[in-house]
């Protein structure tokens, strides 16, 4: 099939339904990882979703994009710090799981998992974050706490809660540990958007459905502020010493995976985060990974992104050299569950955008929206054809559903190409592009995988 030929209606394998927020719903049941050509998009005017009264869909999306910009800056600084160290090497139980849901119904643009904290377990939504290394939860008494869906956790009512002393090895693992007048360890975590959490550092039991994981070091935050609306805390899934995989990795052989559901679909069923051998999907395609030590907290793709195709044709100007990881540790690609929009180095983004615009020349353009400079007016349309987009990694070609790169940004029929350029050498694959895939982290095997049937 040529890159510019429309796919006949009789062989279409997905229809994408227009929804009132940042994403579209898509059927991945028969999705091929490397199918070229074009997708046909079917648009349907939807009812307005019942969202938090605090945010309209458009303003929530804009706020999420603003936070995205801060997050990208923070991720870049973290990897830059690791590059200065100029040292690279690859890291080399019984499974359990928890649900993954969109936080949109709670007024958040994040993805949540639901965990029990303490003994007896008190269940709460936790932000799922592969870019963070500390597990924490809001605790009473709250000096300053943001609104959450569930009651704030009270450590006094948990028989398994235990404070950490200032001189302990756990306390020394913190980047900036503190100490109170009782010689108990204090923690503080700040994020690039100005959000922060501060309180006691402690150990506690986490319950994943019916599985209890004891003695997990976490922050018990009494002073918290930021865009964590709805969730009670955060499950850090990075590669730092205090992340959940680092603390409990021996329990599940350092293998976990998640699938991010369509955050905007009101009827979306919860997906799951899996820990253990069951996390490794049989249909996943894998590429090697590499992390920078000791400062790097993210997984970098070892052989980089080798290229991108649009409409079945490799984009000129996008090759492995554009995403190369140099000897000093600059460049490379990370996969991040907390960043929404994929950022590509500016030369790669410009080439990708121009190729997509050429392939979508029949579509009416719309004004730019926030960081998006390529938008289309699809109002009044029922079916439109758009070029396919395929990522080419070492050992893995990943074909994105159209819903993962052409997204509605308002209720008036404006759709935007969901990529952005960055002046940094680091590229980030965000969660919009990950939706509908099971993303597999096999840290024991030093590889990362993608499966298009992961949310089943």
Catalytic residues: 129, 336
Q: Cα–Cα–Cα angle for 255, 257, 261, nearest 5°?
A: 175
Antiparallel, parallel or unpaired: β 427-429 and 333-335: parallel
Sign of the Cα pseudo-torsion (380, 384, 387, 392, in order): positive
The candidate with the shortest Cα–Cα distance to 376, out of 3, 48, 368, is: 368
Q: What angle is formed at CA 104 by the lines to CA 365 and CA 301, rounded to 5 degrees?
A: 75
Tokens of 303: 């052989």
DSSP tally for the chain: helices H, then strands E: 5, 33
Q: How far is CA 56 from the centre of its chain?
A: 22
Distance CA 234, CA 218 (A): 10
CB–CB of 123/116 below 8 Å? yes
Angle at alpha carbon of residue 267, lines to 9 and 438, rounded to 5°: 75
- Which token pair is 441? 């982290």
376 - beta bridge partners? 365, 415
């Amino acid at each position: 099939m040529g890159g510019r030929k429309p796919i006949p209606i009789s062989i279409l394998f997905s229809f994408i339904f227009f929804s009132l927020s940042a994403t579209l719903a898509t059927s991945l049941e028969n999705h091929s990882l490397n199918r070229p050509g074009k997708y046909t998009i079917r648009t349907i005017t939807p009812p307005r979703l019942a969202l938090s009264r605090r945010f309209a869909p458009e303003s929530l999306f804009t706020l999420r994009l603003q936070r995205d910009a801060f997050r990208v800056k923070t991720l870049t600084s973290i990897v830059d710090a690791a590059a200065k160290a100029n040292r690279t090497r690859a890291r080399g139980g019984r499974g359990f799981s928890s649900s993954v849901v969109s936080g949109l119904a709670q007024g958040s643009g994040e993805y949540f998992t639901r965990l029990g904290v303490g003994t007896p377990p008190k269940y709460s939504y936790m932000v799922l974050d592969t870019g963070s290394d500390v597990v924490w939860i809001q605790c009473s008494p709250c000096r300053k706490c943001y609104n959450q869906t569930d009651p704030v956790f009270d450590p006094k009512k948990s028989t398994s809660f235990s404070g950490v002393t200032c001189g302990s090895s756990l306390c020394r693992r913190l980047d900036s540990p503190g100490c109170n007048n009782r010689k108990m360890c204090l923690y503080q975590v700040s994020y690039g958007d100005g959000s922060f959490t501060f309180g006691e550092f402690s150990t506690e039991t986490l319950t994943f459905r019916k599985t209890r994981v004891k003695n997990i070091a976490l922050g018990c935050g009494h002073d918290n502020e930021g865009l964590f609306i709805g969730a009670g805390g955060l499950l850090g899934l990075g590669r730092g010493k205090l992340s959940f995989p680092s603390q409990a990795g021996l329990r599940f052989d350092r293998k976990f995976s998640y699938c991010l559901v369509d955050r905007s679909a009101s009827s979306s069923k919860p997906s799951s985060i899996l820990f253990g051998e069951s996390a490794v999907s049989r249909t996943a395609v894998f590429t090697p990974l590499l992390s920078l030590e000791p400062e790097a907290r993210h997984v970098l793709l070892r052989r980089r992104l080798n290229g991108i195709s649009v409409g079945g044709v490799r984009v000129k100007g996008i090759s492995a050299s554009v995403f190369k990881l140099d000897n000093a540790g600059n460049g490379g690609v990370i996969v991040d569950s907390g960043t929404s929009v994929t950022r590509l180095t500016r030369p790669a983004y410009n080439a990708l955008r121009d190729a997509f615009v050429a392939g979508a020349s029949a579509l009416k353009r719309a004004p730019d929206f926030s960081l998006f400079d390529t938008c289309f007016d699809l109002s009044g349309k029922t079916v439109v054809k758009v070029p396919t987009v395929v990522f080419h990694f070492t050992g893995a070609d990943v074909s994105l559903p159209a819903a993962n790169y052409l997204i509605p940004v308002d209720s008036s029929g404006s759709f935007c190409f969901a990529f952005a350029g960055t002046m940094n050498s680091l590229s980030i694959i965000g969660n919009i592009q990950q939706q509908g895939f099971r993303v597999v982290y096999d840290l024991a095997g030093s590889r990362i995988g993608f499966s298009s049937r992961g949310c089943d």
